[in-house]
Amino acid sequence: MDPKQLPFVHPLNVVSKLANQSRDMHSVPRRNVRMIALGCIAALCVSALGAGAIMKSDVVNLKSGASIDGTIVKRTDRRIWIDVGPDVLSFSVDDVASVDSQTASANVELKVESIYTTAVGLLELPPREQAKILGPAVIKVSTPSGLGSGVILSRDGYAITNAHVVQGETNLRATVWFAQADGTLKRTDLDDVELVAVNNHIDLALIRLKHPEGKDFQFAPVQDAEKLENGQSVFAIGSPLGLERTLTQGVISTTQRSFDGLTYIQTDTPINPGNSGGPLFNTQGEIIGITNMGIRGGEALGFAIPARYVKDFVRNREAFAYDRNNPNSGHNYQKPPARTSDGAPPELKDGTGNVSPAKSTALAPSKS
């Protein structure tokens, strides 16, 4: 028979028929019927491909054991859509074991800015999938007095962490995880860590690692234009209480929470001591913030420094350059003196900004 004359049965019709039959099949569990349906969808896809369709470059491997070849047209942290030629099929990520995609990376455009990188065309993936990709970019930063987390920003080994993690320390150690050919990660301690710049005002520090084999580091992209929404899914990777490579997830509670003249991302993602300096990711795998604090006694009250502060700090790192011979180098912002009385200063009340005669006399130096 000519392949063009082959009858086409819509996969969703197959699922519907199986669901209707399951009402009368009391001895067949619903899970088995669901697996049979997914298997039928895969079989239909294979038949369509065998009937003359062009082989695509993406493969979706289902937990049922079936594999579907096609082109992934859309992917979120909840569902995946794949074009198999005659139709576009949609699957829940809970039914997917793994995805082999060549078109996904081909559509990503990287842009190097200073010593960090932004990306365009990244796919939304669930945190468990993003962790496999971004895991090697997250590090643990240790000092004689404590530890925190960090994230690598460039292939040259530049990484960001919190200033309070390295405050007053010069003996730094970084623990990194190098990806191996078999898919595992090799834990390695690096003692050659350079402290490049520190900004205590926004609680950020830039460090640089040296690869023991002189190779490039795997890094994570920073979000370019800020796109944050309340309720947006996010996740953090770090070493809370020294528990390495811990992934926690939640949502953005508030995109703009102000403290002491700075704004932070508020999230219900669990943030604990040891998470400080680690990345807060969106579902596209972009760094949207650097976690730096949580409120003790509060529940689900974590905060992260927005990526825009990180980018500004990195661009102007020379102004905050660390000098081993002068630990106080760089700009330090001191808190202004507290007001001694309520209300506006007298010189501002008349709208002129001039100091009143009485005030001027009080401020004048005494004559001997």
Active site residue 331: no
Q: State how far the Cα of 29 lies from the Cα of 74, in Å rounded to an integer.
A: 31
In a domain, residue 351? The reply is no
Give the H or E element holding residue 133. helix 127-134
Name which of 1-10, 77-86, 171-180, 198-207 the model is least confident about.
1-10
My answer on whether 63 and 148 are in the same domain is no
In a domain, 132, yes or no: yes
Q: In the prediction, which pLDDT does 363 show?
A: 45
Lowest pLDDT segment from 123-127, 213-217, 269-273: 123-127
Contact 231, 223 (CB under 8 A): no
99 and 183 fall within a common domain: no
**Position 205 confidence tier, pLDDT thresholds 50, 70, 90:** very high
Distances (CA, A) of 221 to 2, 99, 114, 156: 50, 21, 12, 14
In a domain? residue 355: no
Q: What is the mean pLDDT of residues 137-158?
A: 95
For 154, the domain range is 111-209
pLDDT at position 257, please? Answer: 93
pLDDT of residue 339: 78
Asked if residue 177 lies in contact with residue 185, where contact means CB atoms within 8 angstroms, the answer is yes
| CB of 166 closer than 8 Å to CB of 203 | no
Which of the following is catalytic: 77, 142, 164, 239?
164
Amino acid 76: pLDDT: 77
Is residue 175 in a domain? yes
**Residue 334 belongs to a domain:** no
Question: Position of tokens 């929404």?
Answer: 229
47 assigned to active site: no
Same domain, 123 and 101: no
**DSSP-derived pairing of the beta strands 58-62 and 204-209:** unpaired
Domain ends where: 59, 77, 105?
A: 105
Give the C-alpha separation, 357 to 2, whole Å: 102
* 135 & 201 share domain: yes
CA distance 36 to 15: 9
Q: Give the DSSP letter of residue 240.
A: G
Higher per-residue pLDDT: 367 or 230: 230
Which of 299, 314, 329 finishes a domain? 314
The model's pTM is 0.69
Q: The tokens 């990345």 sit on which residue?
A: 279
CATH number of the domain that 31 lies in?
2.30.30.100
Question: Where residue 333 falls among pLDDT bands split at 50, 70, 90?
Answer: low
Q: Is the confidence at residue 23, as pLDDT, over 60?
A: no
pLDDT of residue 362 exceeding 80, the answer is: no
Among residues 203, 233, 239, 253, which one is catalytic? 203
181 assigned to some structural domain: yes
Q: Hey, what amino acid is at 203?
A: D
Domain boundary among 279, 294, 314: 314
**CATH code of the domain in which 265 resides:** 2.40.10.10
Q: Which own/partner contact pairs does 8-16 have at CB distance under 8 Å and 24+ positions apart?
A: 8/48, 8/86, 9/44, 10/87, 11/40, 11/41, 11/44, 11/45, 11/87, 11/89, 14/40, 14/41, 14/44, 15/40, 15/41
pLDDT in tens, 235-258: 999 999 999 999 999 999 999 999
Tell whether 190 and 258 lie within a shared domain. Answer: no
When computed from its CA atoms, the radius of gyration of the chain, rounded to whole angstroms, is 28
Q: Are residues 100 and 115 in the same domain?
A: no
Looking at the fold, whether 99 and 119 belong to one and the same domain comes out as no
Helices then strands (H, E): number in the chain? Answer: 8, 20
pLDDT at residue number 264 = 96
Residue 198 and residue 237 share a domain: no
Distance CA 287, CA 220 (A): 7
Alpha carbon distance, N-terminus to C-terminus of the chain: 116
Q: How many domains does the chain have?
A: 3
Cα(160)–Cα(174) distance, integer angstroms: 12
The answer to whether residues 184 and 120 belong to one domain is: yes
**Strand ranges across the sheet with 158-161:** 185-190, 173-179, 138-143, 146-152, 158-161, 204-209, 193-199
Q: Are residues 39 and 83 in the same domain?
A: yes
